[in-house]
Amino acid sequence: MTDRLLEGDTALVTGAASGIGRGIAAALAREGARVVLTDIDAGRGEPIAAALQKEGCDVRFIASDLSTAEGPATLLQGTLGALGSISILVHSASPRRLEADNIFTVSDATWHGMLAVNLHAGFALARGAAREMIARKTKGRMLFLTSLHAESPRNLPHYSASKAGQTMLMKELARALGPHGIRVNAIAPGAIPGGGFDANAAGVENLTRCTSLGRLGTPEDIAGMAVALLADRFSAYVTGTTVVVDGGIALHNWIEPPTL
């Protein structure tokens, strides 16, 4: 038996040019999966794929804009053309958000863009991947990167609402696809700098003080749990659940820390 947990899998990871998506894509590739990395930022994504290729990983990069109506279908077509099949979908893409936004400052375009990428593209990719998995009788796995703010509001209505929607979408998918042997789960990360989260704007000192483990997280912290949830060796009986990986920040009032 191979020591690599995902040998023989074919994976699509969105938002893979930075942050959590980058960390997960690298982890899957190093565990033996053939991976398509995708992001709107080709300038950052292509060098990441090239670096993994130098390690001997079987990866390639496809640029995509998941905010467009045709983006998800075009990406799936490109992924199937590159890999021939898909057994793992990881939806990590999310537009960059401004920590100072609130219900009065978020524009209509920003609202629609956030929901388009996080929720609509997530559904379209999952449905398309599920059809492919079912047709091939693949025991597929899907993973959504949600947020603590799916349940705890913090003056980011577009982001929080889209993540809450992702959480219920994950549950609906898990219920519908379970009979086909397809598992669907989510990870709710804590404060992980990079990608769409600007730790400096959110207040690094307060975030660190309000995290039980005394530090902010890294993409690798999330990637390890992602591999565990996607690997049948560890999680074959896990579906429809959200795993919180936050260093204990949800145990504190990190949104409005007390004055000391």
In the residue annotation, 159 being an active-site residue is answered as yes
Q: With contact defined as beta carbons under 8 Å apart, do 225 and 238 qualify?
A: no
Q: With contact defined as beta carbons under 8 Å apart, do 118 and 163 qualify?
A: yes
**Catalytic residue selected from 61, 144, 159, 254:** 159
Residues listed for the chain: 260
Residue position matching structure tokens 């398309």:
128
Q: How far apart are CA 204 and CA 195, in angstroms?
A: 16
Count CB atoms within 10 A of the CB of residue 145.
28
Provide CB contacts within 8 A for 2, sequence distance 6+: 32
Provide CB contacts within 8 A for 138, sequence distance 6+: 85, 86, 87, 132, 181, 182
The set of catalytic residues is: 159
